């Protein structure tokens, strides 16, 4: 039934050290962690990260050196080749866009060849390159840096903030990730932790964490919506809170819908107004464009508080006669809302889908929790109010809720706790069939932990081992889904083909980590099954006898889907940098 197994040793992937960790350039090599001492909570965000910890039993958000409650998730090399992290790195974005790495969270744990990496590669200012193991990495000056290391540098900053506050060493953390994060992405977060000198005690889903911040120890009995609109992504999750049991009923989102998309639309609008007023087309370079996008973001944030905002960018560009021209536009909240309406409507569509997944009517949702900087836009509240007929909770801080929940949960790491978290599987997990069809094994939205078993047979006489390639995603063809790895089942008894049967069990634990077990039918004995081998896409296609046409069709399906959702995502950056 399965494709013939290909003999191949599970070699140590190049680019990794002997612990399977990416080799680092800017960090000291990892040291063994003691696994004791305080545990902190970290919201490792796409745009901003936030650190919190328990102080006398109460969760407390830490301030950065600059006095902010969040730090930008950005690293940069300055002109003197000095590595900068967070606020100081973000300041380099306009000056040294090619040397400033942001949005690493979108790329970490993904193969270079994956559809998402292809999709964003040409839109990022910096170079995304394959590492020697075929995963996405980034180039900073002349060094290729793993995304685990980029994330580790941000985690280390968080760790240092906590150490400065506590005046003691911090080696343990609860780190949050998006609910839709795949298995390899979660694994990458653990590796980043180790590189940063942090043992990741628990990986918590962001919406669950926000719900904890809202409802822990409050004796609630409610269904809540967590609406999280951040800098790059949108997530909507409905949870049932019953005392301290937090159960996800449905989750959905859009990985290409966040603050940056709003900024882009505002940039387009400002440039159109500039052209109208000045009678010339904007032909500025990348730096000029960064200034406009910076101003657009400022205007957007300002208009969350005020009804008008004046955008003034002196000497935006020179005209043909060498005269400097300013951009000066007064933007009203009304205009802004008109620009942003289509994007916010998309978030409401996602919310409606999640309601369907959770089998709930809008009226059955008791409370709305707003998370993410973008949710401060007043139109978000208005739109949700017209769908649900009630306002959002004012008690939750949109920037801090996720980190506060992680800090609260850190209190349960070392002791038996009454908190129960029931998450769901974000994307279906299944196996590859000959020809490349995807056989679904554990369905999306199944409550975790989950496990399913199925049987496979040998297809050759005296076959010594079987291999099973595991994927995650919703497409019917493996090429449009994410490759998790290949399981090798060894130590099979000898016998004619088809006579040896193995029961394979895929298990996902409560943190969505995949475990595989295999048991031989006749002897009932457990046989060795390890998820260690990784093939290149070409090797896999050959092994499973996948036709080129079906791969192409699947990739087009996936590409079209992403393109549609990506919308105008950084189209202006492409324009400005003259990239295709
Ligand atoms: P992430 O979860 O991606 O790290 P955040 O939750 O920090 O992101 O959200 C960052 C986004 O929120 C940015 O696009 C920023 O412009 C936007 N933002 C922050 N404050 C406001 C505000 N007051 N009004 C509107 N948008 C805001
Ligand atoms: Mg966030």
Cα(43) to ligand 2 centroid in Å equals 7
Place of tokens 């046989």: 527
Q: Transcribe 227-264 into DSSP letters.
A: EEE-SS-EEEEEEEEETTEEEEEEEEEETT-SHHHHHH
Cβ neighbours of residue 474 closer than 8 Å, sequence gap 6 or more: 427, 428, 444, 481
Q: Domain ends where: 185, 204, 223?
A: 204
Q: 167: which 2 tokens?
A: 């005046």
Inside any domain, residue 51: yes
**SS3 track for 516-548:** EEEEECCCCCEEEEEEEECCCHHHHHHHCCCCH
Q: Please, what is the angle between helix 333-357 and helix 378-388, to 10°?
A: 40
The answer to whether residue 370 sits within a structural domain is no
Q: Give catalytic residues, as residue numbers.
A: 43, 105, 206, 228
With respect to residue 455, please indicate whether it lies within any of the assigned structural domains. yes
DSSP for residue 393: P
Whether 198 is in a domain gets the answer: yes
**Count of residues for the chain?**
580
Tokens of 381: 């509240």
Binned at pLDDT 50, 70 and 90, residue 568 comes out as very low
What is the spatial distance between Cα 302 and Cα 297, in angstroms, rounded to a whole number? 8
Query: Of the bound ligands, which one is closest to the alpha carbon of residue 260?
Result: 1
- Indicate if the pLDDT at residue 244 is higher than 50: yes
Classify residue 529: in a domain, yes or no. Answer: yes
User: By CB neighbour count within 10 A (0-12 exposed, 13-18 middle, 19+ buried), where does 415 fall?
Assistant: exposed
Share of the chain above pLDDT 90, in %: 56
Centre of ligand 1 from the C-alpha of residue 556, in Å: 32
Residue 388 lies in a domain: no
Cβ < 6 A, ligand 1 pocket: 45-48, 70, 230-232, 258-259, 297, 300-301, 304, 372-374, 376-377, 399
Domain end among 204, 222, 244 = 204
Please give the model's pTM, rounded to 2 decimal places. Answer: 0.85
Of the ligands numbered here, which is closest to the C-alpha atom of 403?
Answer: 2
| Best mean pLDDT range from 105-119, 124-138, 257-271, 529-543 | 257-271
Domain count, the chain: 2
Distance (angstroms) between ligand 1 centre and the Cα of 231 equals 5
CB under 5 Å of ion ligand 2: residues: 45, 230
- What is the mean predicted confidence (pLDDT) over 137-162? 93
Pair 196, 156: CB distance under 8 Å: yes
Tens of pLDDT, residue by residue over 400-417, are 999 999 999 999 888 877
Torsion sign over Cα 296, 297, 302, 307: positive
Q: Which residue's C-alpha comes closest to atom 11 of ligand 1?
A: 231
Ligand nearest, relative to CA of residue 305: 1
In a domain, 317, yes or no: no
The number of the ligand 1 atom at minimal distance from the alpha carbon of 233 is 3
Contact status, residue 172 vs residue 201, Cβ threshold 8 Å: yes
**Atom 19 (ligand 1) nearest CA:** 373
Q: What is the pLDDT of residue 338?
A: 97
Rounded to the nearest angstrom, the gap between the alpha carbon of residue 463 and the centroid of all alpha carbons in its chain is 40
Residue 501 CA to ligand 2 center (angstroms) comes to 46
More confident residue, 263 or 532: 263
Q: What are the pLDDT digits (tens) for 360-387? A: 999 999 999 999 999 999 999 999 999 9
Answer yes or no: is pLDDT of 278 > 90. Answer: yes
Give yes or no for a contact between 385 and 391, defined as CB atoms under 8 angstroms apart: yes
> Residue 373 C-alpha to ligand 1 middle, in angstroms?
3
- pLDDT band, very low/low/confident/very high, at 180 (cuts 50, 70, 90): confident
* Residue 197 located in a structural domain: yes
What pLDDT is stored for residue 577 in this prediction? 35
At 333, list the tokens: 């909240």
| CATH number for position 523 | 2.60.34.10
Give, for 101, the enclosing helix (H) or strand (E): strand 100-101
Rounded alpha-carbon distances, angstroms, from residue 10 to 47, 48, 338, 405, 467: 36, 37, 55, 39, 12
CATH of the domain at 65: 3.30.420.40
Average pLDDT of the segment spanning 189-212:
95
Averaged over 250-258, what is the pLDDT? 87
Rounded-to-integer distance, Cα 24 and Cα 207, Å: 31
Q: Give the integer Cα–Cα distance in Å for 508 and 9.
A: 25
In the block, residue with structure tokens 């508080």: 305
In this structure, the number of other CB atoms found within 10 A of the CB of residue 493 comes to 15
Q: Whose CA is nearest to atom 22 of ligand 1?
A: 301
User: What range defines the domain where residue 517 resides?
Assistant: 429-554
Tens digit of each residue's pLDDT (9 = 90 or more) over 475-532 = 899 988 888 888 888 888 889 998 899 999 999 988 778 888 899 888 777 877 777 6
What are 303-308's contacts with CB under 8 Å, separation 24+?
A: 303/331, 303/332, 303/333, 303/336, 303/377, 304/376, 304/377, 304/378, 306/333, 307/332, 307/333, 307/334, 308/332, 308/333
Given 204, 226, 243, which residue is the final one in a domain?
204
- Among the ranges given (46-55, 386-395, 485-494), the one the predictor scored with the smallest mean pLDDT: 485-494
Average pLDDT over residues 10-19: 52
Atom 20 in ligand 1: which residue has the minimum CA distance? 373
* 290 neighbors 317 (Cβ within 8 angstroms): no
């Amino acid at each position: 039934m399965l494709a013939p197994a290909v003999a191949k040793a599970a070699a140590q992937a190049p680019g990794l050290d002997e612990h399977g960790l990416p080799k680092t350039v800017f960090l000291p090599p990892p040291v063994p962690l003691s696994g004791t001492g305080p545990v902190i909570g970290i919201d490792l965000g796409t745009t901003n990260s936030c650190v919190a910890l328990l102080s006398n039993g109460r969760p407390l958000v830490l301030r950065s050196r600059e006095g902010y409650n969040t730090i930008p998730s950005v690293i940069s090399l300055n002109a003197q080749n000095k590595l900068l992290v967070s606020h100081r790195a973000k300041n380099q974005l306009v000056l040294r866009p090619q040397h400033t790495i942001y949005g690493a969270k979108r790329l970490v744990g993904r193969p270079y060849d994956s559809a998402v990496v292809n999709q964003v590669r040409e839109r990022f200012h910096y170079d995304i390159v394959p590492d020697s193991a075929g995963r996405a990495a980034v180039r900073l000056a002349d060094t290729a840096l793993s995304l685990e290391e980029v994330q580790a540098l941000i985690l280390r900053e968080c760790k240092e903030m906590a150490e400065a506050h506590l005046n003691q060493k911090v080696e343990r953390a609860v780190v949050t990730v998006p609910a839709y994060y795949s298995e390899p992405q979660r694994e990458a977060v653990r590796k980043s932790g180790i590189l940063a000198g942090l043992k990741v005690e628990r990986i918590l889903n962001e919406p669950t964490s926000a719900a904890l911040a809202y409802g822990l120890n409050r004796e609630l009995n409610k269904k809540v919506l967590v609406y999280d609109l951040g800098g790059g992504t949108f997530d909507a999750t409905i949870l049932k809170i019953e005392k301290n049991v937090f159960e996800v009923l449905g989750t959905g989102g859009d990985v290409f819908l966040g603050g940056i998309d709003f900024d882009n639309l505002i940039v387009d609008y400002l440039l159109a107004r500039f052209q109208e007023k000045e009678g010339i087309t904007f032909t500025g370079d990348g730096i000029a464009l960064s200034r406009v996008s910076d101003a657009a973001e400022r205007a957007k944030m300002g208009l969350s508080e005020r009804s008008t905002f004046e955008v003034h960018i002196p000497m935006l560009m020179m005209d043909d006669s060498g005269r400097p021209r300013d951009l000066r536009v007064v933007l009203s909240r009304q205009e802004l809302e008109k620009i942003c309406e289509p994007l916010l409507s998309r978030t409401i569509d996602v919310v409606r889908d999640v309601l369907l997944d959770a089998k709930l009517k809008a009226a059955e949702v008791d409370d709305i929790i707003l998370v993410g900087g973008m949710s401060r836009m007043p139109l978000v509240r208005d739109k949700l109010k017209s769908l649900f007929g009630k306002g959002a909770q004012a008690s939750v801080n949109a920037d801090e809720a996720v980190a506060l929940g992680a800090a609260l949960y850190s209190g349960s790491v070392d002791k038996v706790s009454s908190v129960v978290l029931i998450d769901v599987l974000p994307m279906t997990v299944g196996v590859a069939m000959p020809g490349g069809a995807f056989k679904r094994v554990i369905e999306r939205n199944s409550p975790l932990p989950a496990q399913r078993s199925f049987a496979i047979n040998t297809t050759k006489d005296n076959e010594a081992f079987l291999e099973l390639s595991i994927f995650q995603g919703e497409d019917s063809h493996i090429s449009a889904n994410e490759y998790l790895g290949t399981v090798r089942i060894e130590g099979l008894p000898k016998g004619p083909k088809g006579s040896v049967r193995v029961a394979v069990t895929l298990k996902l634990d409560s943190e969505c980590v995949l475990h595989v077990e295999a048991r031989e039918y006749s002897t009932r004995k457990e046989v060795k099954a390890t998820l260690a081998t990784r093939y290149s896409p070409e090797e896999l296609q050959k092994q499973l006898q996948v036709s080129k046409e079906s791969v192409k069709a699947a990739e087009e399906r996936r590409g079209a889907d992403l393109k549609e959702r990506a919308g105008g995502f950084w189209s202006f950056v492409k324009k400005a940098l003259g990239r295709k």
